[in-house]
Structure 1
Amino acid sequence: MADPKIEPYNGPAGGWGSAASLAEILLREEIPASGAALLLKQNKPDGFMCTSCAWSKPSKPAMFEYCENGAKATVWEQTPKRVGPDFFAEHTVTELLGWSDYALEEKGRLTHPLRYDPASDRYVPVAWAEAFAEIGWELRALDPKSVVCYASGRASLETSYMYALFARMYGNNNLPDSSNMCHEPTSVGLKASIGSAVGTTVLEDFETTDLILFFGQNVGSNSPRMLHPLQEARKRRVPIVTFNPLRERGLERFTNPQSPIEMATRSETEISTQYHQVKAGGDIAALTGMCKALFSADDEAQAVGRPRILDVAFIEEHTHGLDAFKAFCEGQDWAALEARSGLTRAAIESAAAVYGRARAVLGVYGMGLTQHRKGTESVQMLVNLMLLRGNVGRPGAGLCPVRGHSNVQGQRTVGITEKPELAPLDTLAEQYGFEPPREKGLNTVEACEGILDGSVKAFVSLGGNFVRAIPDTVRMEEAWRGMRLTVQIATKLNRSHLVNGTVAYLLPCLGRIEIDAQATGIQAVSMEDSTSCFHGSRGFTKPVSAEVRSEPWIVAELAKATLAPNPKVDWDAWVGDYAKVRDAIEATYPSVFHDLNGRMFEPGGLHKPIPARERKWETETGKANFIVPAGLDEDPDMPARGPDILDLITLRSNDQFNTTIYGYDDRFRGVKGTRMILFMNAADLARIGVRDGDSVNLSTPSEDGFTRTVKGLRVIAYDIPPGNCGGYYPELNPLIPLWHHDEQSKTPAAKAIPVRITPSTRRPRDP
């Protein structure tokens, strides 16, 4: 990499910066004009679903219905670069472990099935039949409870259904997925509060809303297509009130790169009308303050005979627990609310006043709310706020958790879950003639604990880069090698493929954009977006190699090699015609998937029924519940925040998607040529005694006896709340103790990590 440069970026999200970034990656990845034209099929009703984020596809898409990061994901998958047997003949696994995440993936697409050869420390080619024979033999020799079947969030509904069925027929519910690392507090929190484990909004709600509240979601980098409905809302003069520690450019201003007029005139749309830089972990305090202000305003309105601020009719008919929640809010001191949130009373009351005047409100949030020790309570506090004015189950209103991977929500819908109560086990038993396991399986954190203590013997991964995505990276890599078997299904090489068990296989699969030809012809797949709509997706490009196989085919072959024959499951027929898998999905979930085969390519998608959207509350009380948090602090067990202890927030750059790194620039934050960065408040710099540009080390103070350190980070003075600092993941994941997770869902608390800062002896550089 070139010498890092830190230069302020003054442009908007989108605009010419986005166009230039896309042009750069097209040239760098040697994508011809035909490859660029493929983008015209992205997110179209008869095209392919973006392989990046899960934001919804509109029923009337724009000509260029893709964003900068979505286009990068397509280019990344369609690169002409290849990683075949000749590549591995030239490089040992030990050598490749020294490469960066970017360097590994940038080499291109995997082309052949491979087996790790410990004698040469290399991956060597293996025939598909031989690979499955050995994998099946290994799995049959193990206790099924000792095997983990992980799924990243990009596999289709068809693949996910088959994979979940395979795991349960094998004998376990060990089906963790990437939801465990991001939005599990949503699944747990919403289920308890409103009876539905997913959001309640659809894309059309953005067209009729009166107010949008944003909490901890960086739309400009993580889901840029969402900027279009936000811009349209702002042009209707809809206020957008944002709570986020950093001032993210996508939440400040936007130029639509698909508008010739805006591009020519360089005009910009202001996105946030209020921007509150809440401290990391201060959302419960901020939300409590808003609710306290609303209760006070409602009491005042009653006293003088004005219309009520609270939606009393909704509360009385549809909710439970208001009195205890009101007592909690009224019992909080404003000084404590200000101290924990980092916001003034006036700022919080200003946000509450806007909310109190709006008729229909959307509550949009991301991992800034979920990845805390009290992440589930944070989500439930947002629900409490929304319930006070009836903003659930109303057009233009509702809860909108923004998911990451493009089908991570859909995987849960078709059975990828470690929680047996969320899977229709009785239906599966009758449908397929076997007895599914009934005990709880392992989630992500529990799987890691099992790898550490040796109880997990094998790990099968359907996509993803698990080793880099999880906390406690250094400890986990050391323990990972103690497993007997690791199997990785993937399109590109990443670090997880290089940290192997005794027996290790790397199985290359088709990408979503490639033509998937099976016995009955070219196949299509389906997936679910963030707004609970199902969409079809077709491939359009030639497969990268004659040796790659589709994900459904690989799962079917794993099942056939491992399981005893079952006359009620015809794996080969499913692979030959994915429509048969969709018929099976509908038979398992008849109330959810009505005529999926016939409707999956409908413009706008097939909507999943969400009971809470209809004000049907499938909770223990039969109503929507106000749930009182334990306190104001989302991370109450943090060490005392002293002079050298800060709360670290892990972040994405706008040149990455999750653990996939497209480059070393973060345009919006003015960073070029490096990811080894620590963003700090200027007052903290002065107090700790380091200067802008200095090199520092970070360590996590902990009493568990393990040293967690990341060295050589360049400090940047940045607009971030005092007491907080920020840096990129996955590079800073080694600092997160495995036990530092949400108490209810076990999602790693990656948005508030206690770190100690010490000077470094060298200038930071990327590998």
Structure 2
Amino acid sequence: MSSDSDNLRIKPASMPAGGWGSVGEVAHILFEQRAALKDSGLLLKQNKSDGFACVSCAWAKPANPHPFEFCESGAKATAWETTSKTIGADFFERYTVTQLEAWSDHQLEDQGRLTTPLRWDAASDKYRALSWDTAFAEIGAALRGAKREQVVFYSSGRASLETSYMYGLLARMYGNNNLPDSSNMCHESTSVALQKTIGDGVGTVVLGDFEQTDCIFFFGQNVGVNSPRMLHQLQAARKRGVPIITFNPLRERGLVSFTNPQSPGEMLTGQETAISTQYHQVRPGGDTAALMGLCKAILALDDAALDGGAARVLDTAFLAGHTHGLDDFLASVRTCGWPDIERESGLKRASLESAAWVYARAKAVMAVYGMGLTQHRNGVQNVAMIVNLLLLRGNIGKPGAGVCPVRGHSNVQGQRTVGITEKPELAPLDKLKEQYGFEPPRTKGMNTVEACEAILAREVPAFIALGGNFLRAVPETALMEAAWRELPLTVQISTKLNRNHIIHGKASYILPCLGRIEVDRQLGGEQAVTVEDSTACIHGSRGMAEPASHDLRSEPAIVAGLARATLNPNPRVDWDAWVADYGTIRAAIEETYPDIFQDFNARMWTPGGFRKPVGAAERQWKTDSGKANFTVPEGLPGDPDTKAGLGTMRLFTVRSDGQFNTTIYSFDDRFRGVYGSRRVVFMGRADMAKRALAQGDLVTLRCASDDGVERKVAGLAVVPYDIPEGTIAGYFPECNPLIPLWHHAKESKVPAAKAIDVLVEKGSTP
């Protein structure tokens, strides 16, 4: 297999999001995955109330969907999962695992669907097929003999509510709360910040609010790549004249313009909708400073209104009746100087005042944001500052207004709803004790960073992964891969081959599962599952494609198999009955969480989903103060603990339109004009000139830390790009080796991938 590093081509990128480019990408991947005829029909059922929920992003599913309620990214995910390509035991007869280490992420996953249980054989360095019963028996025996408080049960955001509930119960009945998940790597900052400020760890906005808003603020979220279906709501808002004010280091195509592929008129004429009415290229890590500048400008407008006898800009009635901590926050705003705000945000005072002027005149404002705010040392603070901004004018808990975090994976938010959490205080342990007759562990479990720390310390005897590509997603790549090989046991429940199968433990098993899009036949007939979207709405999902192999088992069946092989029998948990009829799992979930899941089986097919209770959306604040809390930021620096100095640049990681999370569909990124390679670094022309660099020159990046660990990525080609001076961007996960494990958000421990100080060296240093 050849590397992609020698195939780089750079082309001008000026096309809008959507349009013919999107249509072409969908057609290409359907053909490439040998699924054109099959998936073209499946796509008509994607995100429909009688179909299946997309396996990629978690954006909301409307009650009245478009005829084609899927986006380019969702179509790619469907084609990727329902591909005709398969991997059987014969594949591993041709390659040793060591040989496969040289393959790229794309090359590994592009081999197709895994179809049979596999166990790594040390003598031959190959995976060998084995029976399901043997796999479960061997894994169960190893887990029964392991140190139970140290075993890790990781889960990806794709697993359904039913599977997640079973998996959390398995871990707790086994004896720990070690339930890290993909939320730990992205929106844990949201969960922590919103819980302490408004009393709910999720957003307050639903799809209907987009029809009633009169202003949208957008922070650090690339809608054109990560949640393209949202472009329909944004386009409709713009056509109503709603201003959209964007803060993002890069000028992303989806936030600049959009041509709706579902509009024949737009497709024929090439008509584009301008999405952002103001676009502020904030410095990576400068979000708190930018938000402080907005608040300072709003306060100045309020002062002027008060002095002139005009109507107040601040919503004084809301602030008096619903908030706590206002005086301390306003004091911090007044003492914060504009020079500091400008330096840290990278934006001019006039620009921030212009945005604040629009905010002050809007009656209903929503703030949409993504991992550009959460994956920072001050990620929790950034989200809390979003809340501060909204509270000033009462923009939470009324139509058209609120906080709107855009979650990534399709059910990552829902997993938390049904108990996937390392924090025992967030799980209904007393109810589980009553319901199932066991004593749940009360000790805090490991989150993602803590699990990595324990693996590096050689303290984890087994790592069970319900989906995902954990080792590729986490920081500290070099040290983690070395430590991973020392794990006594690794078990991966997967649909496709990825690097986490190739870098494996001393004993390693791959358990291939059905995908959500595939028909799930059990003793009780064809089964359906449920997921929760970014707006806290819960939907049913019914598989519609024939399985890639008759030997595949569903995720609930695999979790049940592991539980039966590992745990002592419990007369109150009939794993077999749950697998036969997923309705019985939903009944159990309803019993555990009656306030959320009342009449679960009846309501799961509600068009648009049924929403779980979100008190803050009704101005019911489940906080210690009983009100929405203003918080005072600790400081403005976006990366306060690194050793930035002369010659360092601030790196932040991005995703391409050819990927979703760690899944790489292709080496192309048409929105940025990069083709044939992902080994690139985006740099402004002024910074290139300072370093005597030209397009295509190779550089090595080194992390500017002084902890004695060398972290570098070599052989990156320089691509000129419109990016704030002193900063560069590179792709995730290729740049993960540069991120120290300790470089994470305070409080939430989300890896701080959006602000890493690095040294840039010309040449590909060995």
User: Structure 1 length normalisation: TM-score?
Assistant: 0.99
Are the counterparts in 1 of residues 642 and 705 from structure 2 also a CA contact under 8 Å?
no
3-state SS of paired residue (1:394): coil
Q: Distance in 2 between matches of 1:590 and 1:386?
A: 31
Match status 1:685 vs 2:688: yes
How far does residue 692 in structure 1 lie from its aligned partner after superposition? 2.3
Deviations 1:652-674 (A, max 9, x none): 00010000000010000000100
Unaligned 5+ segments in structure 1 are: none
Paired letter, 1:536: G
1:711 to 710, 714, 717: 714
Q: Distance in 1 between matches of 2:218 and 2:642?
A: 25
Q: Distance in 2 between matches of 1:436 and 1:4?
A: 53
Q: Give the match for residue 704 of structure 2.
A: 701
2:73 to 69, 74, 79: 69
Q: Distance in 2 between matches of 1:340 and 1:703?
A: 23
Match status 1:502 vs 2:506: yes
Are the counterparts in 1 of residues 716 and 764 from structure 2 also a CA contact under 8 Å?
no
Are the counterparts in 1 of residues 39 and 78 from structure 2 also a CA contact under 8 Å?
no
Q: Distance in 2 between matches of 1:17 and 1:611?
A: 41
Q: Give the match for residue 269 of structure 2.
A: 265
Q: Give the match for residue 732 of structure 1.
A: 735
How far does residue 7 in structure 1 lie from its aligned partner after superposition? 0.6
Q: Distance in 1 between matches of 2:582 and 2:718?
A: 51
**RMSD of aligned C-alpha atoms?**
1.0
Count, aligned residues = 762
Q: Give the match for residue 117 of structure 1.
A: 121
Paired letter, 1:668: F
Deviations 1:480-523 (A, max 9, x none): 11111100000000000111111110000000010000111000
How far does residue 610 in structure 1 lie from its aligned partner after superposition? 0.2
Match status 1:442 vs 2:446: yes
Q: Give the match for residue 597 of structure 1.
A: 601
Q: Distance in 2 between matches of 1:4 and 1:630?
A: 43
Are the counterparts in 2 of residues 190 and 197 from structure 1 also a CA contact under 8 Å?
yes
Q: Give the match for residue 546 of structure 2.
A: 542
How far does residue 34 in structure 1 lie from its aligned partner after superposition? 2.7
Match status 1:758 vs 2:761: yes
How far does residue 688 in structure 1 lie from its aligned partner after superposition? 2.5
Match status 1:160 vs 2:164: yes
Q: Distance in 2 between matches of 1:240 and 1:447?
A: 40
Q: Give the match for residue 283 of structure 1.
A: 287
Q: CA 1:14/1:641 → structure 2, altered by over 3 Å: closer, same or farther? A: farther
How far does residue 638 in structure 1 lie from its aligned partner after superposition? 2.4
2:378 to 370, 374, 379: 374
Paired letter, 2:679: M
Q: Distance in 2 between matches of 1:149 and 1:277?
A: 39
Paired letter, 1:190: L
Q: Distance in 1 between matches of 2:610 and 2:240?
A: 28
Deviations 1:699-733 (A, max 9, x none): 11222211111110000111000111001011110
3-state SS of paired residue (1:667): coil
Q: Distance in 1 between matches of 2:173 and 2:316?
A: 50
2:667 to 661, 664, 669: 664
Q: CA 1:320/1:5 → structure 2, altered by over 3 Å: closer, same or farther? A: same
Q: Give the match for residue 656 of structure 2.
A: 653
Are the counterparts in 2 of residues 286 and 348 from structure 1 also a CA contact under 8 Å?
yes
3-state SS of paired residue (2:689): helix
Match status 1:478 vs 2:479: no
How far does residue 35 in structure 1 lie from its aligned partner after superposition? 2.3
3-state SS of paired residue (1:535): strand
Match status 1:307 vs 2:323: no
Deviations 1:11-41 (A, max 9, x none): 1000001011111111111113132111000
Paired letter, 2:505: G
Q: Distance in 2 between matches of 1:449 and 1:468?
A: 16
Deviations 1:341-361 (A, max 9, x none): 010000000000000000011
Q: Give the match for residue 429 of structure 2.
A: 425
How far does residue 635 in structure 1 lie from its aligned partner after superposition? 1.2
Q: Give the match for residue 525 of structure 1.
A: 529
3-state SS of paired residue (1:707): coil
Q: Distance in 1 between matches of 2:36 and 2:346?
A: 50
Match status 1:192 vs 2:226: no
3-state SS of paired residue (1:224): coil
3-state SS of paired residue (1:668): coil
**Which runs of 4 or more aligned residues in structure 1 lie more than 3 Å from their structure 2 counterparts after TM superposition?**
none
Q: Distance in 2 between matches of 1:8 and 1:608?
A: 45
Deviations 1:109-166 (A, max 9, x none): 0000000100000000011001100100000001111100000000000000000000
How far does residue 641 in structure 1 lie from its aligned partner after superposition? 4.2
3-state SS of paired residue (1:487): strand
1:416 to 416, 420, 425: 420
Are the counterparts in 1 of residues 294 and 352 from structure 2 also a CA contact under 8 Å?
yes
Are the counterparts in 1 of residues 739 and 753 from structure 2 also a CA contact under 8 Å?
yes
Deviations 1:538-563 (A, max 9, x none): 01111111111000000001000000
Q: Give the match for residue 345 of structure 1.
A: 349
3-state SS of paired residue (2:229): helix
Match status 1:32 vs 2:36: yes
Q: Distance in 2 between matches of 1:711 and 1:584?
A: 51
Superposition map of 1:108-187 within 5 A: 108-187=112-191
Paired letter, 1:703: D
Q: Distance in 2 between matches of 1:34 and 1:109?
A: 16
2:56 to 43, 52, 57: 52
Q: Distance in 2 between matches of 1:34 and 1:366?
A: 33
Q: Distance in 1 between matches of 2:445 and 2:524?
A: 36
Match status 1:233 vs 2:260: no
In terms of mean alpha carbon deviation, does 699-708 or 253-262 score higher?
Answer: 699-708
Q: Distance in 2 between matches of 1:761 and 1:695?
A: 6
Identity of aligned residues (%): 63
How far does residue 470 in structure 1 lie from its aligned partner after superposition? 0.1
Q: Distance in 2 between matches of 1:476 and 1:157?
A: 30
How far does residue 686 in structure 1 lie from its aligned partner after superposition? 1.7
Match status 1:213 vs 2:221: no
Superposition map of 1:546-565 within 5 A: 546-565=550-569
Deviations 1:92-122 (A, max 9, x none): 1000111000000000000000001000000
Q: Give the match for residue 638 of structure 1.
A: 642
Q: Distance in 2 between matches of 1:241 and 1:701?
A: 33
How far does residue 474 in structure 1 lie from its aligned partner after superposition? 1.0
Q: Distance in 2 between matches of 1:673 and 1:69?
A: 19
Are the counterparts in 2 of residues 378 and 634 from structure 1 also a CA contact under 8 Å?
no
Deviations 1:433-490 (A, max 9, x none): 0000001000000000000001111100000000000001111000011111100000
Paired letter, 2:480: M
3-state SS of paired residue (2:671): helix
2:107 to 86, 103, 106: 103
Paired letter, 2:731: Y
Q: Give the match for residue 297 of structure 2.
A: 293
Are the counterparts in 1 of residues 494 and 513 from structure 2 also a CA contact under 8 Å?
yes
2:84 to 80, 83, 88: 80
Are the counterparts in 1 of residues 27 and 36 from structure 2 also a CA contact under 8 Å?
no
Q: Distance in 2 between matches of 1:235 and 1:623?
A: 36
Are the counterparts in 2 of residues 641 and 723 from structure 1 also a CA contact under 8 Å?
no
User: Structure 2 length normalisation: TM-score?
Assistant: 0.99
